[in-house]
Structure 1
Amino acid sequence: MDFPKLPPHDGPCLSVVDMHTGGEPLRIIVNGYPTVTGDTVLAKRRYVREHLDHLRKLLMFEPRGHYDMYGALLVESELAEADLGVLFMHNEGYSTMCGHAVIALGRFAVDYGLVKTPTSPETRINIHCPCGLVKAFVEYSNGKTGAVRFHSVPAFAFATDVEVTVPGYGEITVDISYGGALYAFVNAEIFGLDVNKSRTRDLVDAATAVTNAVKSQVKLHHPVSEDLAFLYGTILTDGKDDFSDQPTSNVCVFADAQVDRSPTGSGVTARIALQYHKGLIQLNETRSFKSGTTGTIFTGKAVEETTCGEFRAVVVEVAGHAYYSGVSSFTLENEDSLKNGFLLR
């Protein structure tokens, strides 16, 4: 049966390609967005936050999305070496880095012709994220894409053994590390929780309490831009930070209590930087990181020492797989009382 096109409607029509990386969704917006102005990717991030946020809500929130939906909007980059620029969006606003999205966008860029001449066995894609230029390497053979690895911006331990007062839990010691975004890290056992077995709601409550405590009690900064100087979320770990051939598990709770289904690419980057800072991992030692929610795996390793302002930093390589889940078009009708979407907590 041939279904007709959408009947006449008075709202925008937005086309997307849906993917997932390790179970974490990515909605790539390919058509229908107004022109995003700004001289830099960071300026474009500010513009969409101030002028186009209703479209983020339309695509991320119910009934078209859900509380934990994640999105990517392709934009022009001011960097000559960039193949594409991207803005990341979620239930609260706009991130500065997203590793699971970079893995998906690597495949997408090759498959959808954003790179004119793919090369085997890998095709390099330069993706300009709000945090800076990220280099992705996409497996490519006989016209088919596969696994993706990426080198992110310099990652560093911001502060270790920071004492914060967490309501309901008392004094908690956390580490704070940057992997394109700033995260607080804490062993879930402190809360009597297991990242692989405990209820997701209990993990979310503990992580959110830590995030709120750090935001209110710790002054954050970033040597490149104050746009990057915010705590994105808290990552609860299994405490297995010493180098091992066995996977170490974590659960990332970011934005407005949003749960990452993947091991979290920017989180793995930040966690590797933290482990390197503590002398628990050496250059080119590969670790496996498992999502406590889905059991999916990313690998990560520090590949190069560098600096970021006053911080001793490393370039981290993260690798994983992304898969296509669908292609959709979304619209709204102005008479719809829920036209801007809603979040069911």
Structure 2
Amino acid sequence: MSARLPPHDGPVLSVVDMHTGGEPVRIVLSGAPEPEGLSLLEKRRWARDHQDWVRRVLLLEPRGHRDMYGAWLVASEEAEAHLGVLFMHNEGYSTMCGHAVIALGRFALDYGLVKEAAGPETPVNIHCPCGLVRAYVTHSEGRSGAVRFHSVPAFAWATDVPVEVPGYGPVVLDVAYGGAFYAFVSAERFGLDVCASKTRDLVDVAAAVTSSVKEQVKLTHPDSADLAFLYGTVLTDGKDAYSEEPTANMCVFADSQVDRSPTGSGVTARIALQYHKGLIQLNQTRAFKSGATASVFTGKALKETTCGGFKAVVVEVSGRAHYTGTSSFVTESEDQLKDGFLLK
């Protein structure tokens, strides 16, 4: 029987679903309007304030779930960009997402957004709200494969920041930027293990840390106030000094959303933090393992740069994404839950 759309009286949203290291990304193929705005950050604000139904319909239940992630392709004002993208999650809109960039690199090549170039890799320039991110997609015998990307300038915003976390007392942590801001703290501080402890316990701790940092620390970014917010908390295994052995972490972001992958922008920020502390050198490749799925990204600091008054580095992160399917989603006007819902 050939597939056909069921009865509906709303827009049809067609998507391609992928995952990177276990973390989903739902890429919008068609059906979503183009947000208004001259810049990508303006379009991000417009989508948030006027077209949030796209995010809610695609990511929340009953079509999605609490931990679904989305990529809304939009026009870019950057001349070098092959595509622009807005990143969506259970709470709103991010400024950077490494796992989605890895998936979008493959997608852009496979779906003709960029023509295949000669050589073993194809460059794909992806304009994210944090800036232009350059991805490189391997391909062989007609199939795309692993993807690496070069970050926007990443930096340690502050180290050894004291924060009072209700229920846990004083906590000393670091804050770093990798296209988005994260708080970093070892799970051992709370008697937990990022690979062995219950996910619920890790989420509760990370959410408490995030809430406390938001209340007690005022973030700033040299380029735009739109970038100056804490995206989440990365709990680590505390193994920050360079080693050939993988180091594990778990990222909890947005509204207690759990990243199944090692977190591309989190790895970027963590490498910037390690480099700032003198724990790694340029071009030393480290492996980062997800505490949730044991999937692995690799990363390294490529070169020094600056971001405003911050000493920064450009970080390369590598990983693999895979396709899981395609879907076309519809709505019916009489459906009271058509716009999506989220269980707390």
- Other-structure match for 1:228: 227
- Other-structure match for 1:178: 177
- Other-structure match for 1:331: 330
Alpha-carbon distance in structure 2 between the residues aligned to 1:201 and 1:89:
23
SS at match of 1:211: helix
TM-score scaled by structure 1?
A: 0.99
Alpha-carbon distance in structure 2 between the residues aligned to 1:186 and 1:23:
23
Deviation at residue 132 of structure 1 after TM alignment: 0.1
Which amino acid in structure 2 is aligned with residue 336 of structure 1?
D
Deviation at residue 342 of structure 1 after TM alignment: 1.0
SS at match of 1:104: helix
Alpha-carbon distance in structure 1 between the residues aligned to 2:119 and 2:202:
42
Which amino acid in structure 1 is aligned with residue 2 of structure 2?
D
- Other-structure match for 1:2: 2
Deviation at residue 37 of structure 1 after TM alignment: 1.4
Matches within 5 A, 1:146-225: 146-225=145-224
Alpha-carbon distance in structure 2 between the residues aligned to 1:224 and 1:327:
37
Deviation at residue 268 of structure 1 after TM alignment: 0.1
Matches within 5 A, 1:112-123: 112-123=111-122
Deviation at residue 237 of structure 1 after TM alignment: 0.2
Which amino acid in structure 2 is aligned with residue 96 of structure 1?
T
- Other-structure match for 1:262: 261
Deviation at residue 8 of structure 1 after TM alignment: 3.6
Alpha-carbon distance in structure 1 between the residues aligned to 2:54 and 2:340:
10
* Kept in 2: contact 1:118–1:140 (CA 8 A): no
SS at match of 2:137: strand
Which has the larger displacement, 5-14 or 105-114?
5-14
- Other-structure match for 2:123: 124
Per-residue CA distance 1:288-310 (angstroms, 9 max, x = gap): 00000000000000000000000
- Other-structure match for 1:302: 301
Which amino acid in structure 1 is aligned with residue 196 of structure 2?
K
Deviation at residue 54 of structure 1 after TM alignment: 1.4
Alpha-carbon distance in structure 2 between the residues aligned to 1:315 and 1:44:
26
Alpha-carbon distance in structure 2 between the residues aligned to 1:115 and 1:126:
9
Deviation at residue 116 of structure 1 after TM alignment: 2.3
- Other-structure match for 1:108: 107
Which has the larger displacement, 8-17 or 233-242?
8-17
Per-residue CA distance 1:189-247 (angstroms, 9 max, x = gap): 01000000000000000000000010000110000000000000000000000000000
* Kept in 2: contact 1:110–1:118 (CA 8 A): no
Alpha-carbon distance in structure 2 between the residues aligned to 1:30 and 1:63:
20
Deviation at residue 35 of structure 1 after TM alignment: 2.3
Alpha-carbon distance in structure 1 between the residues aligned to 2:115 and 2:204:
46
Deviation at residue 11 of structure 1 after TM alignment: 0.9
SS at match of 2:273: helix
Deviation at residue 137 of structure 1 after TM alignment: 0.3
Deviation at residue 252 of structure 1 after TM alignment: 0.1
Deviation at residue 324 of structure 1 after TM alignment: 0.2
Deviation at residue 9 of structure 1 after TM alignment: 1.6
How many residue pairs get aligned? The number is: 344
Alpha-carbon distance in structure 2 between the residues aligned to 1:37 and 1:160:
38
- Other-structure match for 2:238: 239
Which amino acid in structure 2 is aligned with residue 25 of structure 1?
P
- Other-structure match for 2:275: 276
Which amino acid in structure 2 is aligned with residue 194 of structure 1?
D
Alpha-carbon distance in structure 2 between the residues aligned to 1:11 and 1:214:
41
Identity, in percent, stands at 72
Alpha-carbon distance in structure 2 between the residues aligned to 1:276 and 1:92:
31
- Other-structure match for 1:73: 72
SS at match of 2:55: helix
SS at match of 1:267: helix
Which amino acid in structure 2 is aligned with residue 160 of structure 1?
T
* Kept in 2: contact 1:154–1:315 (CA 8 A): yes
Alpha-carbon distance in structure 2 between the residues aligned to 1:119 and 1:252:
37
- Other-structure match for 1:135: 134
Per-residue CA distance 1:130-151 (angstroms, 9 max, x = gap): 0000000000122210000000
Which amino acid in structure 2 is aligned with residue 62 of structure 1?
E
Per-residue CA distance 1:61-88 (angstroms, 9 max, x = gap): 0110000000001111101011110000
Alpha-carbon distance in structure 2 between the residues aligned to 1:39 and 1:46:
11
* Kept in 2: contact 1:120–1:141 (CA 8 A): no
- Other-structure match for 2:291: 292
Which has the larger displacement, 134-143 or 85-94?
134-143
- Other-structure match for 2:339: 340
SS at match of 1:336: coil
- Other-structure match for 1:321: 320
Structure 1 consecutive aligned stretches of length 4 or more whose deviation exceeds 3 Å: none
Structure 2: tracts of 5 or more residues without a match: none
